[in-house]
Structures are given as C-alpha cells and as structure tokens.
Amino acid sequence: MATDYAGFIATVEREADVPHDQAERAVTATLATLGERISDGEAHDLAERLPPELRRLIDRHAGDGPRPLSAGEFFQRVQVREQVPIMEAEDHVRAVFAALRETVDPKEIADLASELPRELERLLFDDLPLDDLDDGVAGSSPSSAQDFLARVARRTGLDEDGAQRATDAVLELLAFRLAAGETDDLEQRLPAELHAPLERGKAEKPSPSAHWLPLKPWLIAVAEREGVSRAEARLHVRAVFATLAEAIGDDELEDVTAQLPSEFRALFPRRR
C-alpha cells in the first residue's frame, strides 16, 4: 500500500514508467486538477487520507466550489500544468489514480468516483484504457499514410520524423507478434506506404504463426528500435494503436486484439 509520500510517488513511477521527478510533476498536476473538479467536502475528506505532503494540492481550492470539467477538459488541464502531450497526460492521470486506489480506503474511492464523469470514474475503479479525447484527431479513418503519421504526431507531440520512427517501430514489432496471415489482413486495410515495417516484422518471425512475447519485453523492443525510453515507447504505442484502430475498423481490430495477451489491450482505445 502506498501509505506515505515516498510510496505514493513510487507507485506513480511504476505505473507510468517514469523517473521520480516526472512522477512528482504528474502527481502535482493531477491532484491540483482533481481538487478543482470535486466538491469542497470531498476535497477535504480525500485530503485527510493522503500523505501530508499531498494534502495542500487537493484542499487548496476549498471555497471555490467544484468546476464542471468533462474528462477531456480534465486531461487538458493536467496537460497544461505538466507541459506534456495529451496522451502522456492521460497515462499519468491513470498512474496517479492507481496510487490513490492503493492509498485511500474503498469507501472514500467510491465517494470520489461519484463526483467524477464516467470516463474518470471507470479509470479510477478499473484502470481501463481511455477513449481518445484529443479533439480533431479521433473519428474518421486516416485518408493516407501522411494523415496516419500526422495523427500519431499530434497524439504524441512528436515531429514528422519522430512520428515516422514510432509508427515504423510499432508496426514492425506488431507484425512480429501477430500471425503472418493477420499481418496480411492488416496490410489490406492500411496505405501501401505503411506496409514496409509490417513486412520487416513478418520476415523476422521464427515461424508464420503468432509469436508469443509478453508486453514488457515487447515494449522494450519498441523502445530500442525507436531509441527512446520505455515510458516514451508506451506513449507512442498507444498513439499508433489508436490511429491503427481508426484505420482498420472494428472487425479487423477485434482480429488483431484476439491474437494478443490481455495485457496488450489496455494500450488500445476502448471500443464504444
């Protein structure tokens, strides 16, 4: 249980896979925004159950009354406070909520959840993946490889070259993980310019069947190919998977996720 400040921050470090100083920034941004979103009474009750170093973050807005923030607005406020891409802000909120679950008793978690919008309530209880809430990205299918990469870039804050590297690394290692026939099906749904990394991953496979590989070593492999940290790789995977889901449709997405262990599915957007 994360009953003290060090334990709380350590939980966020572990859940978000970030260094100590970034975990502290994520906690500050998330709890300050949470303090704005909930009622004064709930802020006071929650603050009493947190380590002393964190109480001021929740309770400092007392007297202002709750602000009716949607989940999307909540993530955007965290993003602005932390100065990170929107999907990284979402991942950090998820990690801070995990630390809250380890620190606060279930009754208080239930009281807190009752004041939150549905997306945040589900995240608080279940640690479920989030819908994409970055306006102007989610929705229609990417019209071209350039559009695909532009969506990845916006979701991650990468430039065009970075989005290309992230997309290539994720698609290559996804093809390495899937059965060759499923990779062929993916290619039929994606622009021709995105086929090369899929073909490379398929060629590297020891056999045409689905290749067993747990999530952690798979993410490490993505990070190594991309030349980034594992935390950055996780963010990039989520962005590419979100864009991939838009490109291939629900039926093909179901076929892809059926070949992956359940631990991979939290990296895909939640199906509506």
pLDDT at position 264 is: 86
The yes-or-no verdict on residue 167 having pLDDT over 50 is yes
* Percentage of the residues of the chain whose pLDDT score is greater than 70: 89
pLDDT tier at 139 (50, 70, 90 boundaries)?
A: low
Cβ atoms of residues 151 and 137 within 8 Å: yes
For residues 124 and 104, give the distance between their C-alpha atoms in angstroms, rounded to a whole number: 12
* Residue carrying structure tokens 């590419």: 240
Sequence-distant (6+) residues with CB within 8 A of 50 are 8, 58, 103, 104
- Model pTM score: 0.61
The yes-or-no verdict on residue 98 having pLDDT over 70 is yes
- Bigger pLDDT: 231 vs 121: 121
> What is the overall mean pLDDT for the chain?
86
Q: What is the DSSP letter of 208?
A: S
pLDDT at position 2 is: 59
Task: Count CB-CB contacts under 10 A for residue 248.
Answer: 20
Instruction: Tell me the average pLDDT across 4-27.
Output: 94
Instruction: Tell me the average pLDDT across 173-181.
Output: 93
3-class DSSP state for residue 66? coil
Give, in order, the Cα–Cα distances in Å from 157 to each of 76, 87, 272: 14, 9, 25
One-letter amino acid at 44 equals H
For residues 252 and 256, give the distance between their C-alpha atoms in angstroms, rounded to a whole number: 6
* Residue carrying structure tokens 């004064």: 40
- Of 7-21, 52-66, 80-94, 204-218, the range with the lowest mean pLDDT is 52-66
The yes-or-no verdict on residue 130 having pLDDT over 50 is no
Dump pLDDT digits (tens) for 179-207: 999 999 999 999 999 999 999 999 988 87
For residues 242 and 234, give the distance between their C-alpha atoms in angstroms, rounded to a whole number: 12
The yes-or-no verdict on residue 55 having pLDDT over 70 is yes
Dump pLDDT digits (tens) for 60-97: 555 566 778 888 999 999 999 999 988 899 999 999 99
Instruction: Tell me the average pLDDT across 87-113.
Output: 88
Cβ atoms of residues 28 and 21 within 8 Å: no
Q: Would you list the DSSP string of 233-272?
A: HHHHHHHHHHHHHHHHHHHHHHHHHHTS-HHHHTTSPPP-
pLDDT tier at 121 (50, 70, 90 boundaries)?
A: confident
Nearest to 167 by CA among 205, 198, 202: 198
